[in-house]
């Protein structure tokens, strides 16, 4: 039996700060549809696309866009539940033999066009068990203790260009072995950090302001009619 590479898009209901955010419109289509369409543009890499949800509206949207839906039990949809629990449940709910899982989060809807192809090539070439995207943080960061600011990644007066590079997990893309998910992990200790420098890496939608900024970037980077 062939071992498949599948995409999983987890989209539960119950967002508190931006209600029904996964079905909010961005560029005229539901937020989750951006991740579905991105996956469908990479079918030379992906064998099947699944949405995991407990939301009837999201289920309807996913089916309209022609992808498979796995109903996630409400017990796996609480605020304390981790993403890996949804991925593990989906793997346990399908009959296919899965080797690789590509995780696309609907709250990171905008991605560079060739991101998945390039990431999967790196994943295979380096024989990774997991890969995730990161971006450089150029801010001068510190802690506040007893009303005193304590720099963490620089010294006071240091030029930004002389700072040691630090990176953040931007959420654009994860690729991992299904066996790792079954062990309740998405990112392993030796995961490959794929550096992405693109404005889309700044988007992680959790508020109305995040959605409005995403709309701005979508319009700026989407070619208009010729």
Query: What is the structure's pLDDT at 80?
Result: 64
Query: What is the structure's pLDDT at 226?
Result: 43
pTM reported for the whole predicted model = 0.91
* Cβ contacts of 89 within 8 Å, gap of 6 or more: 52, 70, 72, 73, 76
Query: What is the structure's pLDDT at 110?
Result: 96
Q: Is residue 200 part of a domain?
A: yes
Q: Is residue 156 part of a domain?
A: no
Cα gap 200→221, rounded to integer Å: 9
* CA 63 to centroid of chain Cα atoms: 20
Q: Is residue 147 part of a domain?
A: no
Positions in the chain whose pLDDT score sits under 70: 1, 14, 78-80, 223-226
Q: Is residue 138 part of a domain?
A: no
- What CATH number is given to the structural domain containing 81? 3.90.550.10
Residue span of the structural domain in which 17 resides: 4-133+169-221
Among 185, 208, 217, smallest CA distance to 15 is for 208
Q: Is residue 123 part of a domain?
A: yes
Q: Is residue 85 part of a domain?
A: yes
Cα gap 190→210, rounded to integer Å: 31
Number of domains in the chain: 1
Cα gap 104→128, rounded to integer Å: 18
Q: Is residue 162 part of a domain?
A: no
Cα gap 13→51, rounded to integer Å: 13
Among 101, 171, 166, smallest CA distance to 133 is for 171
Q: Is residue 101 part of a domain?
A: yes
On the CB side of 202, how many CA atoms lie within 13 Å of its CA? 15
């Amino acid at each position: 039996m062939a071992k498949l590479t599948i995409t999983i898009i987890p989209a539960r209901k119950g967002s508190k700060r931006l209600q029904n955010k996964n079905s909010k419109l961005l560029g005229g289509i539901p937020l989750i549809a951006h991740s579905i369409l991105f996956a469908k543009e990479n079918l030379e890499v992906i064998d099947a696309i699944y949405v995991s949800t407990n939301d009837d509206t999201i289920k309807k949207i996913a089916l309209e866009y022609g992808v498979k839906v796995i109903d996630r039990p409400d017990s796996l949809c609480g605020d304390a539940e981790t993403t890996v629990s949804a991925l593990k449940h989906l793997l346990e709910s399908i009959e296919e033999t899965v080797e690789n899982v590509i995780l696309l989060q609907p709250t990171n809807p905008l991605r560079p066009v060739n991101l998945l192809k390039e990431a999967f090539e790196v994943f295979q070439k380096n024989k990774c068990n997991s890969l995730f995207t990161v971006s450089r943080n150029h801010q001068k960061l510190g802690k506040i203790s007893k009303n005193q600011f304590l720099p963490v990644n620089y010294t006071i007066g240091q030029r930004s260009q002389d700072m040691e590079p630090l990176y953040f997990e931007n959420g654009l893309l994860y690729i991992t072995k299904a066996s790792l998910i079954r062990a309740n992990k998405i990112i392993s200790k030796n995961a490959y950090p794929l550096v992405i420098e693109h404005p889309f890496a700044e988007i992680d939608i959790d508020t109305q302001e995040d959605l409005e900024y995403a709309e701005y970037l979508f319009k700026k980077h989407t070619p208009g009619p010729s």
